[in-house]
A and B are shown apart, each in its own frame.
Chain A
Amino acid sequence: MGLNISLAPEVLFYIGSWPITNTFFWFFWVWLALIIGSFFLRKNLKLVPGKVQNIIEMLISAAYDFTESIIGQGKKAKRIFPLVATQFFLVLICNLLAYIPGQAAVSINNGELMVPLFRSVVADYGLVFMMTIITVITIQIVAIVVSGPFAYLKKFINITSPLNFFLGLMDLIGEIAKIVSLSFRLFGNIFAGEVLGAVMLFLAPFFVPLPFLFLGLLTAVVQAFVFAVLTLVFISMASEMEVEAEEKVNI
């Protein structure tokens, strides 16, 4: 008997030569449920909301108010809200699903060894990496659209003085570091929570893991929030370059 922890998600079965991992398997159902749920919700929207619509309206309006409080009211908030809210609710639902009791006990045989059927979706670096890439590409597009391609390029390649050239290179590294920092933060927190839970279960199966589970629950909610808020803050920073440029022209 030993601890069985792997960084990569476990492969459940193959369709042709395409490996289906347990995180993909689970994410597929989450994705399907979200799409179908939002489709039906949209179809059944009423002026006088029912119970479900009421709860969802409350959540959405609270999230929208928060978005406005960071990026300012108006068009910007309306444009950025769908991306940020989707990221938040997706990560939140994926994280919380890992705390359904009993699911960790289900394991199946994939031909070679027994693998758990379920695994916290965010503990797969592939998903987190792709979400981060979406965020980073959005940031770059917003920055380029706002400040113009040449002004944006000038921020990184500046040959007016050696110091400015060095600072430009640093900015470039900073942009690349965003990918690592955003994705590692989410992935590391959730995966560390999983590993901590597994180690605690291994050491003392009863009652001792409980506080760590609560800690993991807190982390799940906070990290979903942090990921969305950082996306929001980065994009609002990228969209405010224009203001600085205009101020310089006016002076």
Chain B
Amino acid sequence: MEIQAAKYLAAGLAIGLGAIGPGIGEGIAASKALEAIGRNPEASGKITPLMFVSMAITESTAIYALVISLIILFG
């Protein structure tokens, strides 16, 4: 296999596999937050920013994978 082809393959694999966990995790976070808002709509002002923060933290493993694949591609 040529090196360039292996690089593209590695970048695709890195981000594709790395996005599985955070995808599930963010879905759980969003569903729980929406459930909570549905039960208590007055608390939505408090829940929404916390949801964004926790989603951003959940996302971080996907971002690591993304940074790795960007380094493979463009670094």
Answer yes or no: B5 CB below 8 A from chain A CBs: no
> Given known contacts A5-B74, A7-B74, A195-B70, is B56 in contact with A184 (CB within 8 Å)?
no
Answer yes or no: A135 CB below 8 A from chain B CBs: no
Residue contact A187 to B67, C-beta cutoff 8 Å: yes
Interface size grouping (class) on chain B: 10 to 19
Answer yes or no: A225 CB below 8 A from chain B CBs: yes
- Interface 0/1 of A1-33, CB less than 8 Å to B: 000011100000000000000000000000000
User: Which residues of B from 59 to 75 have beta carbons under 8 Å from A?
Assistant: 59-60, 63-64, 66-67, 70-71, 74-75
* Chain A residue, CB-CB nearest to B60: A185
* Chain B residue, CB-CB nearest to A8: B75
Interface size grouping (class) on chain A: 10 to 19
User: Which residues of B from 36 to 75 have beta carbons under 8 Å from A?
Assistant: 49, 52-53, 56-57, 59-60, 63-64, 66-67, 70-71, 74-75
Alpha-carbon distance between A188 and B63 when the two chains are bound, in angstroms: 6
User: Which residues of A from 167 to 211 have beta carbons under 8 Å from B?
Assistant: 181, 184-185, 187-189, 191-192, 195
Q: Which of A7, A188, A222 contacts B75 (CB 8 A)?
A: A7
> Given known contacts A6-B74, A222-B52, is B63 in contact with A184 (CB within 8 Å)?
yes
Alpha-carbon distance between A229 and B57 when the two chains are bound, in angstroms: 11
Alpha-carbon distance between A248 and B49 when the two chains are bound, in angstroms: 35
Which residues of A are found within 8 Å of B75, using beta-carbon distances? 7
Q: Which of A6, A7, A184, A222 contacts B60 (CB 8 A)?
A: A184
Residue contact A192 to B56, C-beta cutoff 8 Å: no
Residue contact A189 to B63, C-beta cutoff 8 Å: yes
* Chain A residue, CB-CB nearest to B54: A226
Residue contact B70 to A7, C-beta cutoff 8 Å: yes
Residue contact B52 to A191, C-beta cutoff 8 Å: no
Residue contact A185 to B63, C-beta cutoff 8 Å: yes
Which residues of B are found within 8 Å of A185, using beta-carbon distances? 56-57, 60, 63
Question: Which of B52, B53, B67 has most A Cβ within 10 Å?
Answer: B67
Alpha-carbon distance between A134 and B32 when the two chains are bound, in angstroms: 35
* Chain B residue, CB-CB nearest to A183: B67
Residue contact A192 to B63, C-beta cutoff 8 Å: yes
* Chain B residue, CB-CB nearest to A219: B56
A211 → chain B, closest Cβ, in Å? 18
Answer yes or no: A223 CB below 8 A from chain B CBs: yes
Which residues of A are found within 8 Å of B70, using beta-carbon distances? 7, 188, 191-192, 195
Residue contact A222 to B56, C-beta cutoff 8 Å: yes
A8 → chain B, closest Cβ, in Å? 9
| Sampled A-B contacts (26; CB under 8 Å) | A5-B74, A7-B70, A181-B60, A181-B64, A184-B60, A184-B63, A184-B64, A184-B67, A185-B56, A187-B67, A188-B63, A188-B66, A188-B67, A188-B70, A189-B59, A189-B63, A191-B67, A191-B70, A192-B67, A192-B70, A195-B70, A222-B52, A225-B49, A226-B56, A226-B57, A230-B57
